[in-house]
Amino acid sequence: MDVLEKIGDQVKSNPVVIYMKGTPQFPQCGFSMRAAAALSDCGVPFAYVNVLQDPEIYENLPRYADWPTFPQIYIDGELVGGCDITLELHASGELKEMMEQAASKAEAAGA
């Protein structure tokens, strides 16, 4: 499978996914740490991909949605953005709402 297809499959098969440096439990950069903490705080399960463990994804993810930095957060198959946007959405309460809607939609579809 081509790496962009692999990324597309991960984005489409998870209601919420964060591509980050490290893991939510052991983040390897401050931006990834803050974005993962905001997602965790919403109380909705989410998937993660540690880009440091997959050099192909690390090198090609910026091409997938034309977003150059990490972390990258996708909700319901769409790029939400990186750390700053995620923190703004969390502060306004929109992040939790978006995550809940994506999880409900996936559950209704049998995911």
pLDDT tens-digit series, residues 25-80: 999 999 999 999 999 999 999 999 999 999 999 999 999 999 999 999 999 999 99
Locate the domains of the chain by residue range.
3-93
Q: Which string of DSSP letters, residue by residue, matches the chain?
A: --HHHHHHHHHHH-SEEEEESB-SSSBSSHHHHHHHHHHHHTT---EEEEGGG-HHHHHHHHHHTT--SS-EEEETTEEEESHHHHHHHHHHTHHHHHHHHHHHHHHHTT-
> Is the confidence at residue 5, as pLDDT, over 90?
yes
Pull the structure tokens for residue 51. 């880009």
In whole angstroms, give the CA distance from residue 100 to residue 45: 9
CATH of domain 3-93: 3.40.30.10
Those residues whose C-beta lies under 8 Å from the C-beta of residue 13, and which sit 6 or more positions away, are 111
Please give the annotated binding residues for [2Fe-2S] cluster, written as ranges.
29
Residue ranges for the known binding site are 29
Axis-axis angle for helices 94-108, 83-92 (nearest 10) = 90
Please tell me the pTM assigned to this model. 0.95
Residue 111, pLDDT above cutoff 60: no
